[in-house]
Amino acid sequence: MAVEINEDNIKQGLLGLVLALVEIIVETLKHQAVRRMEGGSLTDEEVERLGRTLKELDQAVEAIKDDYGIKECVRSVREGLDSSLNGILTQVPAIMESETIRKEPAVSG
C-alpha cells in the first residue's frame, strides 16, 4: 500500500506534530501548577491567573484543531509519541541495571 504525500498532508502532519507537542507542554505546565499549588508557593491571585491562562491555552489549541480539521491527526501523533515513550520507558530498568553492572568494581581473589 503506497502512502500518498502531498503538500497538504505535510502541512497537516507538521501542524499535528506541533499541536501534539503543545498539548504535552500544557499538560506538563498543569502538573507543575498543581505541585506548586499543593506546595503553597502560589498566591490565590496567581492560582486564579494560572488556571485562567491554562484554560485559554486549551481553548486555543482546540480552536486551531477545529479550524484546520486536524483533531484526528493530533490524536494519532499523540498516540505515536505515547507509544514510543512507553517503549523507551520499559527499557529503562534494563539499561539502568546494565549501567550498574558495568560500574561495579571487579572482585579480585
Q: Mean pLDDT in the chain?
A: 86
Task: Report if residue 58 sits inside a domain.
Answer: yes
| pLDDT at 99 (0 to 100) | 75
| pLDDT at 3 (0 to 100) | 45
Task: Report if residue 35 sits inside a domain.
Answer: yes
Task: Report if residue 104 sits inside a domain.
Answer: no
Task: Report if residue 32 sits inside a domain.
Answer: yes
pLDDT tens digits along 1-57: 444 556 778 888 899 999 999 999 999 999 999 999 999 999 999 999 999 999 999
Which residues 6+ apart lie within 8 Å of 13 measured at CB?
A: 73, 77
- Report the alpha-carbon distance of residue 74 to residue 6 in Å, rounded: 18
The structural domain count of the chain equals 1
Task: Report if residue 30 sits inside a domain.
Answer: yes
Task: Report if residue 84 sits inside a domain.
Answer: no
Task: Report if residue 40 sits inside a domain.
Answer: yes
Where does 1-109 have alpha helices with state H? 7-38, 44-68, 71-103
pLDDT above 90: percentage of residues in the chain: 59
Q: Domain span at residue 40?
A: 14-74
Task: Report if residue 90 sits inside a domain.
Answer: no
